[in-house]
Amino acid sequence: MLHHPEVQVKIFSEIAEVVGLEKAVTMHDKPKLKYTHAAIMETQRISISPLGVPHMSNADTIISGYTIPAGTTILSSNEFLYRSEENWKNAKHFRPERFLDAQGNLSVPEHFKPFGLGPRACPGESIAKMELFLYLASMIQRFELHPAEPGQLPSLEPQIGMIYFPQPFQLRFVERQRV
């Protein structure tokens, strides 16, 4: 949000128009806050860890002509799924609009599965999505987010572990003036 103030402005405009500035944002508002939802998905796409959680094949399996023996460790390439040009046009660019169609409705590619899929998919998906939406929308409804010092943007180089996480950074919350 600090690197893309224009996205912050669009999220705020959508919230101001759909919810207003007096009432708190709730989950009932989510279906109508399409740009906000798209911005969250774009943030997940661009910041997802390069590899999925390791799994193991429990039986000999053939996929697309490749034999995968039982007991093979399998890692999905999130880098390919979420940041390759094959799957995303101008993949390096942060552009929430890629999750919206020409009518402004959400359009989520089938291969966008940041919470995994199948029997071991993330059981926290619903609560995580709720938190991402309510925190972001509530904060942007009430505050402008600015760098701690003008022009001092946080690094986009991640700290790398099992997941990508940001390096420590500071920011300023400036309360919006209600008119």
Give the interface with ligand HEM as residue ranges (CB under 6 A).
52-53, 114-116, 120-124, 127-128, 132
Cβ proximity to ligand HEM, 128 vs 145, nearer residue: 128
Whole-angstrom Cα distance, residue 55 to residue 5? Answer: 39
Query: In this structure, what token pair is assigned to residue 144?
Result: 């402008």
The CB-of-127 to ligand HEM minimum distance in angstroms stands at: 5
| Annotated binding-site residue? 122 | yes
Contact 44, 53 (CB under 8 A): no
The CB-of-165 to ligand HEM minimum distance in angstroms stands at: 11
Whole-angstrom Cα distance, residue 143 to residue 11? Answer: 12
Q: Which residue is at the shortest CB distance from ligand HEM?
A: 124
Whole-angstrom Cα distance, residue 167 to residue 60? Answer: 42
The CB-of-34 to ligand HEM minimum distance in angstroms stands at: 19
Cβ proximity to ligand HEM, 116 vs 158, nearer residue: 116
Sheet strands (E) in the chain: 55-56, 61-63, 66-68, 73-74, 143-147, 159-160, 164-165, 171-175
Q: Between β-strands 61-63 and 66-68, what pairing exists: parallel, antiparallel or unpaired? A: antiparallel
Cβ proximity to ligand HEM, 128 vs 171, nearer residue: 128
Cβ proximity to ligand HEM, 21 vs 74, nearer residue: 74
Q: Annotated binding residues for heme, as ranges?
A: 122
